[in-house]
Structure 1
Amino acid sequence: MYEKEIEEELSRWKRKLSKRPSVLGRYTKGLQSKMNRYVPEKIHSIVTTSIKNMVHATLVGSEYTTKKQPERALSLQQREEKVEKLVTSYKRTAALEGAGTGAGGILLGMADFPLLLSIKMKFLFDVASAYGYDVRDYRERLYVLYLFQLTYAREEKRMDLLRQLEEWEEKKELLPEKEEYLATFDWKTFQLDYRDYIDLPKMLQMIPGFGAVVGAAANYRFLDALGETAMNGYRIRWLASLPNKERG
Structure 2
Amino acid sequence: MIESNKWLQQELKKIQSWETDQSDLWFWEKLGRLPFKLIDKVTPSFIQNKLGSILDELGQYIQTGGNYLSPASSLSSYYPEDSIHTIEEASVLPIEKMDKAVEKLTKMRKKVATVQGASTGIGGLFTISIDIPILLGLQLKTLQDIALCYGYDPQDKKERIFIVKCLQFVSADIVGKQAILKQLSGIDNNQNTKREVLSEIQGWREVVFSYRDQFGWKKLFQMVPIAGFIFGAFTNRSAVNDIAEAGMMLYRKRRITERLSKDILDGTNKV
With the length of structure 1 as denominator, give the TM-score of the two structures: 0.85
**What residue is the counterpart of 2:241 in the other structure?**
224
Could you report, residue by residue, the CA deviation over 1:87-143 in whole angstroms, capped at 9, with x for unpaired residues?
111111111111100111001112100010111111111000000001221111111
Amino acid at match of 2:241: D
1:33 partnered with 2:32 = no
Match of 1:155 among 158, 167, 174: 174
Q: Is the 8 A contact 1:205 1:211 kept in 2?
A: yes
Distance 2:201 2:21 in 1: 26
Any runs of at least 4 consecutive aligned residues in structure 1 with deviations exceeding 4 A, and if so which? 187-191, 244-247
Could you report, residue by residue, the CA deviation over 1:47-71 in whole angstroms, capped at 9, with x for unpaired residues?
1114412430343135222523522
Q: CA RMSD in A?
A: 2.5
Distance 1:53 1:171 in 2: 26
Q: Is the 8 A contact 1:52 1:191 kept in 2?
A: no
Alignment of 1:74-113 (within 5 A): 74-113=93-132
Structure 1 pair 222/114, CA: closer, same or farther in 2 (3 Å)? same
1:59 partnered with 2:69 = no
Distance 2:66 2:43 in 1: 33
Count, aligned residues: 234
**What residue is the counterpart of 2:139 in the other structure?**
120
> Unpaired segments of 5 or more residues in structure 2?
1-5, 73-85, 193-199, 265-271
Larger Rg: 2
Structure 1 pair 189/115, CA: closer, same or farther in 2 (3 Å)? farther
Kindly indicate whether structure 1 or structure 2 has the higher relative contact order, using CA contacts under 8 Å at least 6 residues apart: 1
Match of 2:8 among 3, 8, 15: 3
> Unpaired segments of 5 or more residues in structure 1?
175-186
With the length of structure 2 as denominator, give the TM-score of the two structures: 0.78
Structure 1 pair 54/157, CA: closer, same or farther in 2 (3 Å)? closer
Q: Is the 8 A contact 1:98 1:219 kept in 2?
A: yes
Amino acid at match of 2:162: Y
Match of 1:235 among 234, 252, 270: 252
Q: Is the 8 A contact 1:102 1:213 kept in 2?
A: yes
**What residue is the counterpart of 1:181 in the other structure?**
none
Amino acid at match of 1:226: I
Distance 1:126 1:87 in 2: 10
